[in-house]
């Protein structure tokens, strides 16, 4: 592959600054001056930020000096209501969207009035009012979020485009490839803009990829690509406008590669010692601010006096904004406030079924029926998953949905779990509800980052809820081996910002699913595969809800409490029948986050002996959290140690005898005997 000096061919071409667009229309002198104001503003802010950084008044800064034409070009080329998903060095996006500088500076300083209330730094924020969705540190995931916004635009046929930024380094991430693939397959009006500045932090591109240019990566996805001189502001504006027209008219994604260079380090502490001196000198000559200013002066569009006046006005605005931001107090620590912002408000409305006919249905039927009724109730609900459309899903839960609700709302997906989960967040930003089906709960590892760092943290960070239900077919007992049998709910109970439910009966499955869709927050909905067709009961035909966070007392008892959920409920009931002499109270948690501490405490106070059971491997399982809480909060009511039982600390084996040994059912009997001996 060519070395980094491939960019030597990019020369400042004064002809491109003729003031004429490619359509033959001329920019007026006034519009060219306005473009200059938009370009110089982020440069002047950056210069001030670097001073503040040296003074210790801000803690970190990612400089975009040398790349301003890209961010400003995008901001000026799009309509104000079209979403932009920028990155570290795209200050020009925020300024071109006219975000008040006081708010921007308060964000940089971690003040309460900042967009994240002091919870995140720099450009890690979004603002729906300005149609901006900020990045997370993992870089690539925002590309998939852009897909979701673009999908919403396509469903609404509103002739809008979405644009997501990426650096050249992030094009090596799997998320980049998943996002491009999904956008191409779904024909989404989205622009993927890659700022190719030659380095991923300090690693040059010839150590990042082997294709001649990043735009070549579009070929494999059947996607059109455009390459542009990212230091030429008018060329940037034109290229983005052209890409927008193509994306909307053809309802297709476009990859734009903007060739540029950053004149400072990845962030200020990094420095630029790894960059050859001659390369720095060459790109300094291509500085987008200096060259555009020179063009305006040489063509007598602007005078030195006007430039000085413009800069003076912007500097005054900066100082005023900083003064107001500095005057604000630091964010006060409030446990109540922190916890309150973790989830979007979700007042639970309990909808009880009307006295209508009930039917004896299986767990799998209850889930299907609940999903169907949610689709009827919420016309903004979109289902996404592998094979869920014509095929009806591997467990046939969505069979017949395509004919009723159509391809727009029942969407087959490529094998791109991460990209689809990211798209779900994008749909939420546009006011949609989504359901993402993991074909098996085990496969959620491929989308872990989106759930843990995007869905879970979005509302806490910048007030954007993620109205997403992730259905998770889970559990062993079906002889499916290590990759189709895991109980992985504890991975998510440890993550603030997620709700986790785990029904054990058809009635609860239907009611909790309805509640999950009514809740505007991300809900992980676990459904045990071995229970799909092995249990049934009378379930109301009506739409009804069961509150998330409320346990169910399965059986009343006085000698022993068994706290469990999912398959554990059925094991406990079977064992209780084996020991009629022991009065066992079985508590089905139903919800793990939040979980019903009051119900658990009431049971402990009643029986004074507790066994906590789950199917998950014992070490690190959710049973440990329950047991620890009981030991701390109910110690005075206990007549024996809190005991636990779970599966062996091994992967889930395939062979029947090995799997039976792995699961805790047989060990439960011994634990009950041991507990009753106290």
pLDDT band per the 50, 70, 90 thresholds, residue 23: very low
* Nearest residue to 338 via CA among 468, 496, 106: 496
Of the listed ranges 136-140, 467-471, 514-518, 559-563, the one predicted with least confidence: 136-140
Alpha carbon distance 627, 641 (integer Å):
10
Alpha carbon distance 528, 565 (integer Å):
11
Give the SS3 label for residue 95: helix
Can you give the pLDDT at residue 21? 46
**Both tokens assigned to 581:** 């002499």
Whether the upstream peptide bond of residue 519 has omega within 30° of 0, thus cis, is no
What are the Cα distances from residue 451, in Å, to 174, 175, 650? Answer: 16, 13, 25
Reply yes or no on whether the pLDDT at 276 is more than 90. Answer: no
Can you give the pLDDT at residue 26? 63
Reply yes or no on whether the pLDDT at 420 is more than 90. Answer: yes
Reply yes or no on whether the pLDDT at 10 is more than 50. Answer: no
Average pLDDT, the chain: 90
Can you give the pLDDT at residue 8? 30
pLDDT band per the 50, 70, 90 thresholds, residue 137: confident
Question: Are 593 and 567 spatial neighbours (Cβ–Cβ below 8 Å)?
Answer: no
| CATH number, domain 360-540 | 3.40.50.970
Can you give the pLDDT at residue 134? 84
Segment 177-233, tens digit of pLDDT: 999 999 999 999 999 999 987 766 666 777 777 787 888 899 999 999 999 999 999
Tell how far CA 592 is from the center of its chain.
21
- Whether 552-676 and 26-330 are alike in CATH topology: the answer is yes
Can you give the pLDDT at residue 229? 95
Q: Which helix (H) or strand (E) holds 36?
A: helix 29-54
Segment 434-481, tens digit of pLDDT: 999 999 999 999 999 999 999 999 999 999 999 999 999 999 999 999
Can you give the pLDDT at residue 354? 66
**Phi and psi at residue 238, to the nearest 5°:** -65, -45
**Both tokens assigned to 678:** 């106290």
Can you give the pLDDT at residue 323? 93
Question: Are 448 and 436 spatial neighbours (Cβ–Cβ below 8 Å)?
Answer: no
User: Any idea which fold 26-330 has?
Assistant: Rossmann fold (3.40.50)
410 contact partners, CB below 8 Å, separation of at least 6 = 383, 388, 389, 398, 401, 402
pLDDT band per the 50, 70, 90 thresholds, residue 271: low
Can you give the pLDDT at residue 56? 85
Question: Are 469 and 436 spatial neighbours (Cβ–Cβ below 8 Å)?
Answer: yes
Crossing angle for the helix pair 68-77 and 233-249, nearest 10 degrees? 40
Catalytic sites, residue numbers: 484
Alpha carbon distance 598, 603 (integer Å):
9
Give the SS3 label for residue 553: strand
Tell me how long the chain is: 678
- Buried residues in 293-303 as b, exposed as e (16+ CB within 10 A): bebbeeeebbe
Segment 15-44 shows an average pLDDT of 75
What are the Cα distances from residue 474, in Å, to 2, 441, 526, 600? Answer: 48, 5, 6, 25
Of the listed ranges 15-29, 78-92, 152-166, 624-638, the one predicted with least confidence: 15-29
Can you give the pLDDT at residue 352? 75
Crossing angle for the helix pair 174-185 and 141-156, nearest 10 degrees? 10
Can you give the pLDDT at residue 265? 60
Question: Are 461 and 120 spatial neighbours (Cβ–Cβ below 8 Å)?
Answer: yes
110 contact partners, CB below 8 Å, separation of at least 6 = 118, 121, 330, 331
pLDDT band per the 50, 70, 90 thresholds, residue 62: confident
Give the SS3 label for residue 170: helix
Q: How do the domains of the chain map onto residue ranges?
A: 26-330, 360-540, 552-676
Question: Are 532 and 475 spatial neighbours (Cβ–Cβ below 8 Å)?
Answer: no
Reply yes or no on whether the pLDDT at 22 is more than 70. Answer: no
Reply yes or no on whether the pLDDT at 371 is more than 60. Answer: yes
Q: Strands 536-540 and 552-555: what pairing?
A: unpaired
Residue 250: strand pairing partners = none
Reply yes or no on whether the pLDDT at 583 is more than 90. Answer: yes
Question: Are 163 and 85 spatial neighbours (Cβ–Cβ below 8 Å)?
Answer: yes
433: left (phi over 0), alpha (psi -120 to 50) or beta: beta
Q: Strands 254-259 and 224-229: what pairing?
A: parallel
DSSP 20: B
**Both tokens assigned to 188:** 């989404």
Angle at alpha carbon of residue 201, lines to 198 and 203, rounded to 5°: 65
What CATH architecture is 552-676?
Answer: 3-Layer(aba) Sandwich (3.40)
Question: Are 268 and 88 spatial neighbours (Cβ–Cβ below 8 Å)?
Answer: no
Segment 338-370, tens digit of pLDDT: 999 889 998 777 777 666 689 999 999 999 999
- Residue 584: Cβ within 10 Å count: 25
Q: Structure pTM? A: 0.92
Q: By percentage, how much of the chain surpasses pLDDT 90? A: 75
Alpha carbon distance 517, 521 (integer Å):
9
Segment 12-32 shows an average pLDDT of 58
**Phi and psi at residue 673, to the nearest 5°:** -60, -45
Alpha carbon distance 188, 83 (integer Å):
14
Alpha carbon distance 116, 458 (integer Å):
10
665 contact partners, CB below 8 Å, separation of at least 6 = 571, 574, 575
61 contact partners, CB below 8 Å, separation of at least 6 = 46, 49, 50, 53, 122, 267, 268
Question: Are 66 and 261 spatial neighbours (Cβ–Cβ below 8 Å)?
Answer: yes
What are the Cα distances from residue 179, in Å, to 148, 187, 190, 246, 423? Answer: 10, 12, 10, 19, 9
Alpha carbon distance 62, 47 (integer Å):
12
104 contact partners, CB below 8 Å, separation of at least 6 = 94, 95, 321
Segment 115-131, tens digit of pLDDT: 888 888 778 888 999 99
Can you give the pLDDT at residue 418? 95
Q: Which helix (H) or strand (E) holds 501?
A: strand 499-501
Question: Are 458 and 464 spatial neighbours (Cβ–Cβ below 8 Å)?
Answer: yes
- Residue 210: Cβ within 10 Å count: 9
Which parts of 540-591 fold into alpha helices (H)? Answer: 567-578
Alpha carbon distance 113, 104 (integer Å):
9
Reply yes or no on whether the pLDDT at 528 is more than 60. Answer: yes
Tell the burial category of 205 from Cβ atoms under 10 Å away from its Cβ (0-12, 13-18, 19+). Answer: buried
Reply yes or no on whether the pLDDT at 13 is more than 70. Answer: no
């Amino acid at each position: 592959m060519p070395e980094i000096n491939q960019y030597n061919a990019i020369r400042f071409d004064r002809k491109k600054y003729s003031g004429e667009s490619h359509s033959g229309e001329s920019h007026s002198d006034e519009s060219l001056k306005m473009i200059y104001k938009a370009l110089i503003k982020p440069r002047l802010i950056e210069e001030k930020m670097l001073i503040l950084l040296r003074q210790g008044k801000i803690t970190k800064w990612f400089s975009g000096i040398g790349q301003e034409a890209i961010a400003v070009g995008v901001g000026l080329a799009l309509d104000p209501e079209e979403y932009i998903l920028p990155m570290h060095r795209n200050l020009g996006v925020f300024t071109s969207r006219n975000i008040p500088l006081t708010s921007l500076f308060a964000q940089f300083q971690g003040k309460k009035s900042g967009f994240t209330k002091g919870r995140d730094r720099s450009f890690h924020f979004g603002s729906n009012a300005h149609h901006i969705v900020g990045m997370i540190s993992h870089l690539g995931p925002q590309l998939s979020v852009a897909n979701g916004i673009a999908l919403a635009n396509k469903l609404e046929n509103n002739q809008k485009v979405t644009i997501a930024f990426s650096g050249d380094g992030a094009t090596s991430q799997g998320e980049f490839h998943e996002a491009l693939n999904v956008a191409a397959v779904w024909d989404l009006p989205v622009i993927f803009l890659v700022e190719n500045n030659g380095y991923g932090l300090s690693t040059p591109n010839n150590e990042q990829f082997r294709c001649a240019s990043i735009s070549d990566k579009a070929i494999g996805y059947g996607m059109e690509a455009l390459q542009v001189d990212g230091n030429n502001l008018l060329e940037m504006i034109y290229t983005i406008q052209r890409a927008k027209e193509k994306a909307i008219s053809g309802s297709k994604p476009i990859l734009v590669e903007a060739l540029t260079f950053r004149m400072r380090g990845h962030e200020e502490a990094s420095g630029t010692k790894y960059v050859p001196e001659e390369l720095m000198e060459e790109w300094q000559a291509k500085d987008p601010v200096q060259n555009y200013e020179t063009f305006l002066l040489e063509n007598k569009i602007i005078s030195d006096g006007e430039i000085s006046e413009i800069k003076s006005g912007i500097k005054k605005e900066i100082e005023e904004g900083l003064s107001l931001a500095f005057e604000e107090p630091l964010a006060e620590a409030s446990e109540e406030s922190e916890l309150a912002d973790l989830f979007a408000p979700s007042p639970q409305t309990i909808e009880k079924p009307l006295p209508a006919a009930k039917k004896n249905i299986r767990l799998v039927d209850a889930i299907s029926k609940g999903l169907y009724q949610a689709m009827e109730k919420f016309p903004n609900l979109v289902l996404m998953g592998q094979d869920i459309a014509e095929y009806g899903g591997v467990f046939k839960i969505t069979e017949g949905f395509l004919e009723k609700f159509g391809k727009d709302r029942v969407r087959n997906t490529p094998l791109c779990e991460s990209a689809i989960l990211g798209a779900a967040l994008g749909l939420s930003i546009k006011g949609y509800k989504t359901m993402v089906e993991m074909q098996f709960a085990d496969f959620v590892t491929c989308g872990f980052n989106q759930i843990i760092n995007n869905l879970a943290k979005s509302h806490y960070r910048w007030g954007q809820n993620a109205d997403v239900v992730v259905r998770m077919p889970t559990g062993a007992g079906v002889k499916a081996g290590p990759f189709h049998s895991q109980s992985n709910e504890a991975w998510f109970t440890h993550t603030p910002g997620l709700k986790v439910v785990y029904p054990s009966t058809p009635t609860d499955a239907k009611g909790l699913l309805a509640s999950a869709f009514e809740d505007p927050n991300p809900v992980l909905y676990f459904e045990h595969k071995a229970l799909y067709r092995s249990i049934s009961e009378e379930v109301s035909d009506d739409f009804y809800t069961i509150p998330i966070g409320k346990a169910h007392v399965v059986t009343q008892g006085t000698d022993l409490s068994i706290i469990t959920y999912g398959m554990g409920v059925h094991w406990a009931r079977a064992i209780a029948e084996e020991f009629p002499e022991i009065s066992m109270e079985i508590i089905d948690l139903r919800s793990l986050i939040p979980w019903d501490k009051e119900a658990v405490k009431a049971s402990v106070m009643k029986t004074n002996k507790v066994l906590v059971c789950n199917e998950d491997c014992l070490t690190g399982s959710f049973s440990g959290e329950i047991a620890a809480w009981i030991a701390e909060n109910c110690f005075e009511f206990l007549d024996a140690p809190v005991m636990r039982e779970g599966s062996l600390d091994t992967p889930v084996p395939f062979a029947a005898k090995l799997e039976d040994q792995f699961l805790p059912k047989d060990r439960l009997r011994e634990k009950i005997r041991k507990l009753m001996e106290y």
